[in-house]
C-alpha cells in the first residue's frame, strides 16, 4: 500500500478567490510561488466545454466544474501539490499537462499525470480512499488512476521532477458539485514570475503558520494566526483515508497562538490536521512516531 508523504517545510501565505474566472485554459490562473490557493466556488466549465481526451491509457474526461492553473519552473526540483475539496465527499479529478510550446500553451501540451479515480460500485470503505483529498505526492509511483476506485488506487499520483524553464498547465474538475477547493503547492522547486501574476491582496482570517515538532511523539503543536476577533473552530485529526481520528471545538482569540494537542493515543503514521468553520478551511500534515 502506498503512503502519502508531503514536505511542509515552508511558512505559506494564503491567496483566496471568491469567484471562478479561470474555467478556460487560455484564462488559466498563474501560480507564481509555493503557496496555498483557495477557490470558493467553481462556476461551470467556462466559455468552452472541452472533451479532454487524454493519452493516459485512452482516458476521456468531461469538463463540468473546472479551474485551470498555469506555472513555469524557475529551478530544478520536486513538485507536489495537495488538493482539498471543501466537501470531503466530492470527486476531484485532474490532468497535469507539460507545455510543448510556451507561446501556445493551451494548444500544444502533453498530459503527464491523469487522475480519474473516484466513486465506484462498492462499499463506502472502498470509495473513501478515492474521494476527497488528491494530488501529487512523494511516495506514490503511479502516473495514472483510471475511472472508478480500483485495486491500489489511493487518489494520489507520483510527484513531478520539474526542470528549469519547463511550463505546465493543470486542469482540476469537481464532478459532484460547484464547491471549491484549496490547493497547496510544495516541494523543492521554485516558480517563475509570470507577466500576469496576481498580487496577494486577500488573506484568510486565520492561518496555520507552523506544525511542530516533526515528527511528533506525544504532543503536536500548531502555531495559529487569527486576524479577526474570537473565532470558534472545529479542529480534526484525520488519517490518510480522511477518517476522523479525533476532534475538538476551540475558541481562538485574535493574534498569534500556540495550540497543543495530545496525540499519544493514536497509532504511528501520517495524519492531516484540519481547522474549519463556516468561513475557513485549513489543512496541514503531521507525522506521529
Domain boundaries along the sequence of the chain: 14-191, 206-288
| C-beta of residue 184 within 8 angstroms of C-beta of residue 36 | yes
Name, in order, each residue with C-beta under 8 angstroms of 29's C-beta and a sequence gap of 6 or more. Answer: 17, 22, 37, 67, 68, 69, 70, 198
* Residue environment code for 252-268, b if the CB has 16+ CB neighbours within 10 A, otherwise e: beeeeeebebebeeeee
pLDDT at 6 over 80: no
Q: What is the pTM of this model?
A: 0.75
Among the listed residues 41, 1, 2, 36, the one whose alpha carbon sits nearest the alpha carbon of residue 18: 41
Q: What is the predicted pLDDT for the residue at 211?
A: 85
Average pLDDT score over the chain = 83
CATH code of the domain made up of 14-191: 2.60.120.380
Q: What is the predicted pLDDT for the residue at 146?
A: 87
- The domain made up of 206-288 is a member of CATH 2.60.40.1930: yes
Strand partners, 169: 70, 97
Grid cell at residue 233? 473552530
For the ranges 119-133, 137-151, 242-256, the lowest mean pLDDT is seen at 119-133
The pLDDT tens digits of the residues spanning 36-52 come to: 788 888 988 888 877 67
Q: What is the predicted pLDDT for the residue at 58?
A: 67
Between 11 and 82, residue with greater pLDDT = 82
pLDDT at 142 over 90: yes
The pLDDT tens digits of the residues spanning 202-225 come to: 456 788 888 888 888 899 998 888
Q: What is the predicted pLDDT for the residue at 182?
A: 86
The pLDDT tens digits of the residues spanning 155-170 come to: 899 999 999 999 999 9
Amino acid at each position: 500500500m502506498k503512503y502519502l508523504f508531503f514536505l511542509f517545510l515552508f511558512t505559506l501565505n494564503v491567496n483566496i478567490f471568491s469567484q471562478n474566472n479561470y474555467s478556460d485554459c487560455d484564462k488559466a490562473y498563474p501560480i507564481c510561488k509555493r503557496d496555498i490557493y483557495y477557490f470558493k466556488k467553481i462556476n461551470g466549465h467556462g466559455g468552452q466545454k472541452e472533451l479532454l481526451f487524454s493519452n493516459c491509457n485512452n482516458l476521456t474526461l468531461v469538463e463540468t466544474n473546472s479551474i485551470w492553473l498555469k506555472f513555469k519552473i524557475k529551478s530544478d526540483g520536486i513538485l507536489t501539490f495537495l488538493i482539498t475539496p471543501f466537501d470531503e465527499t466530492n470527486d476531484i479529478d485532474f490532468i497535469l499537462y507539460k507545455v510543448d510550446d510556451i507561446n501556445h500553451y493551451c494548444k500544444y501540451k502533453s498530459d503527464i499525470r491523469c487522475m480519474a479515480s473516484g466513486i465506484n460500485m462498492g462499499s463506502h470503505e472502498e470509495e473513501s480512499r478515492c474521494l476527497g483529498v488528491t494530488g501529487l505526492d512523494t511516495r506514490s509511483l503511479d502516473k495514472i488512476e483510471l475511472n472508478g476506485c480500483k485495486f491500489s488506487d489511493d487518489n494520489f499520483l507520483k510527484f513531478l521532477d520539474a526542470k528549469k524553464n519547463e511550463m505546465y498547465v493543470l486542469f482540476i474538475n469537481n464532478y459532484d458539485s460547484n464547491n471549491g477547493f484549496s490547493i497547496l503547492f510544495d516541494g523543492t522547486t521554485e516558480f517563475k514570475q509570470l507577466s500576469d501574476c496576481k498580487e496577494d491582496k486577500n488573506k484568510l482570517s486565520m492561518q496555520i503558520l507552523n506544525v511542530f515538532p516533526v515528527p511528533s511523539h506525544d504532543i503536536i503543536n500548531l502555531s495559529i494566526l487569527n486576524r479577526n476577533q474570537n473565532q470558534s473552530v472545529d479542529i480534526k485529526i484525520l488519517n490518510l483515508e480522511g477518517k476522523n481520528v479525533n476532534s475538538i471545538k476551540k475558541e481562538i482569540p485574535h493574534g498569534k497562538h500556540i495550540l497543543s494537542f495530545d496525540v499519544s493515543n493514536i497509532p504511528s503514521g501520517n495524519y492531516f490536521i484540519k481547522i474549519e468553520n463556516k468561513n475557513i478551511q485549513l489543512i496541514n500534515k503531521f507525522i506521529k512516531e
